[in-house]
Chains A and B, each alone.
Chain A
Amino acid sequence: MTDILTQQTKRKRRISLPPAFRTPLAITGAALVLFWLLVMAFAPLIAPADPLAQAFERLQPPSAEHLFGTDQVGRDVLSRVIYGSRISLPLSIGLVLASMIVGGTLGAIAGYFGKAVDEIIMRLADLVFAFPTIILAMVITAALGPNLTNAVIAMLIVSWPAYARVTRSLVVSARQQEYVVAGRLLGAGAFTSLRRDVLPNVLSPVFVLAMLDVGTAILLLSGLSFLGLGAVPPTPDWGAMVAGGVEQFSSWWIAAFPGLAIFTVVMAFNFIGDSLRDSLDPHTQDAVQGRAM
């Protein structure tokens, strides 16, 4: 009456990229991200003109010569959109990563140690949550001085609490798990336990959150630039371009194309994030109880 080794077809509990990317939506998203990464990398080679050169006829509609037209000071919009990817994309992705690391760490510490540490961190988070995101970001940027670096710092300050909260609740439930307790009984100190046993098992949902957040980060940065608090002209940031284009409403192409670029990146990350989340959900459900037959 030996136990039979069960051959389960369940996926391993890791971020299994292949299944996540098998949906058409995720493939589209991945393709778009790849496209923009290539554009970023090869910008000097593909851009037809210098993004800062005010060398052309102003306010020209899209034509064979200028696929995206020219803006109000005679710059080629296509080139600016291409070079804009070098500002908007890395900053947003970097911001999300930084928020995930900072917020995640603070949330994990709050969740694992509880008591006073938990209270302090969560009340700080609440403080940030009390203000509308864009307003707080604006205020901080303005206070520090309106440039790109400070805009990113401001965005980090307003973004970490969301990650902290999610991580904290995941850690609170994970730390009760018997395997975490077993680790402590076998001599692991609190930090080792947190690092080795708790964090790897809570990272997946946090990562999905981050994916879905890249879109928000781009929009936030664009919003700040739109308000003149982020990328300072003449830097070709997509948000700043939309801002400039809105003033010239009849020359629709000045705002439309950078707007379209923002749209495609946001959707791309949303597609990937959704797919990842769907492929990870069954795992969190199967996490503890096995169903006896």
Chain B
Amino acid sequence: MNAPLLSIDNVSVRYKLPGGGSLTAVNEVSLDVADSSVVGLVGESGCGKSTLARAVCGLEATSGGSIKFKGHEVRKLGMRRRPEELMRIQMVFQNPYASLNPRRTVGSQIADGLRANPQQTSWSVAGLLEEVELPSDVQQRFPHQFSGGQRQRIAIARAIASGPELLIGDEPIASLDASLQARVATLMRRLALEAGASLLFISHDLAVVRIIADEVAVMNKGVIVEHGTSQQVWEQPQEAYTKRLLAAIPAVDGLGTLPGEAAS
């Protein structure tokens, strides 16, 4: 039996609060991501999904459990360069306005990704820009000359350029217009799978996650409350929280139906 690409095993992340006490952001969570698959991690703000994503990248220290990527233990990033075996995990962030260095051309930033790619591929910055549906002659421009949606595509191009085996999207579509969200999410799925990578897609939007993820895990207050295939979670939710989440999604039916009330 193949070991999964990413194995999150009973992981907890605890923060010390100023003034005493601690906050458990992630509470003994276990989740696996298999090769060439798309896993959606869904939850509302404060549920711990972003913290978990950062821990997988080595940006947060874990307080318990272990995270293994292709058998290698993931530890917090120190002063040195990231260990080579963990470089195959890359992330696309939520805020398109802060993911690109404002003083460097977008071409040079995508090239950073290419330089980090261990395989001397035939990929080029121009080619990658085309992959993310941007004109290839914009390499010399600076980030402020692009819209939010375009900047996010550039960030995706940079991440893909490095040849990741696991691409993590931390709410990558949340800051985009609704009309772009499904499109960018689908783009991420396509590019990841075409490159032979898996995608861990974190979002609060179950409707979009459903169309791109093979399996979905629902997180609430640091714990995974439900886990199943997209279809199962969408059509036959088992847990009360999942049902509430689904009921709260506004329907686009033109009938003026108000979405379900939130529990106080």
CA distance A185 to B91 in the complex (A): 8
B145 touches A181 (CB 8 A): no
CA distance A186 to B157 in the complex (A): 13
Residues of B within 8 A of A132 (CB): none
- Asked if B79 is an interface residue, CB under 8 A from chain A, the answer is yes
Q: Mark A194-235, 1 if CB is under 8 A from B, else 0.
A: 000100110000000000000000000000000000000000
CA distance A231 to B82 in the complex (A): 52
Of the stretches A6-14, A83-91, A238-246, the one at the interface is A6-14
Q: Beyond A189-B81, A197-B101, is A178–B90 a contact (Cβ under 8 Å)?
A: no
B79 touches A8 (CB 8 A): no
CA distance A12 to B105 in the complex (A): 11
A184 touches B77 (CB 8 A): yes
Q: Which residue of B lies closest to A289 (CB)?
A: B97
Q: Beyond A14-B103, A287-B102, is A181–B59 a contact (Cβ under 8 Å)?
A: yes
Residues of B within 8 A of A183 (CB): 101, 112
Q: Mark B125-160, 1 if CB is under 8 A from A, else 0.
A: 000000001000010001011111110000100100
Q: Beyond A113-B79, A187-B87, is A3–B98 a contact (Cβ under 8 Å)?
A: no
Residues of B within 8 A of A289 (CB): 97
* Those of B68-89 within 8 Å (CB) of chain A: 77-82, 87, 89
- Asked if A24 is an interface residue, CB under 8 A from chain B, the answer is no
**B146 contacts which of A5, A182, A197, A286 (Cβ < 8 Å)?**
A5
Q: Mark B147-188, 1 if CB is under 8 A from A, else 0.
A: 111100001001000100000000000000001100000000
CA distance A5 to B101 in the complex (A): 19
**A3 contacts which of B109, B115, B150 (Cβ < 8 Å)?**
B150
Q: Beyond A178-B98, A187-B116, is A8–B103 a contact (Cβ under 8 Å)?
A: no
Residues of A within 8 A of B115 (CB): 186-187
CA distance A14 to B82 in the complex (A): 30
B79 touches A182 (CB 8 A): no
Q: Mark A266-293, 1 if CB is under 8 A from B, else 0.
A: 0000000000000000000011111010
What is the interface of chain B mostly: helix, strand, loop, or mixed?
loop
- Asked if A124 is an interface residue, CB under 8 A from chain B, the answer is no
A182 touches B91 (CB 8 A): yes
- Asked if B222 is an interface residue, CB under 8 A from chain A, the answer is no
Residues of A within 8 A of B48 (CB): none
Residues of A within 8 A of B180 (CB): 3
B155 touches A182 (CB 8 A): yes
- Asked if A177 is an interface residue, CB under 8 A from chain B, the answer is yes
CA distance A180 to B101 in the complex (A): 8
A185 touches B81 (CB 8 A): no
**A5 contacts which of B59, B99, B138, B148 (Cβ < 8 Å)?**
B138
Q: Mark A1-32, 1 if CB is under 8 A from B, else 0.
A: 11111111010111000000000000000000
Q: Which 3 A-B pairs have the closest CB atoms?
A: A178-B93, A190-B79, A189-B81
29 A-B interface contacts by CB (under 8 A) = A3-B180, A5-B138, A5-B145, A5-B146, A6-B146, A8-B144, A13-B102, A13-B103, A13-B142, A13-B144, A14-B103, A178-B94, A182-B91, A182-B99, A183-B112, A184-B77, A185-B57, A185-B82, A185-B90, A186-B87, A186-B113, A186-B158, A189-B79, A190-B79, A190-B80, A201-B102, A201-B103, A288-B95, A290-B97
Interface residues, chain A, CB within 8 Å of chain B?
A: 1-8, 10, 12-14, 113, 177-190, 197, 200-201, 286-290, 292
11 additional A-B pairs beyond A179-B98, A183-B101, A190-B78, beta carbons within 8 Å, are A1-B179, A5-B146, A13-B103, A13-B142, A181-B91, A182-B93, A185-B87, A186-B115, A186-B116, A197-B101, A201-B101
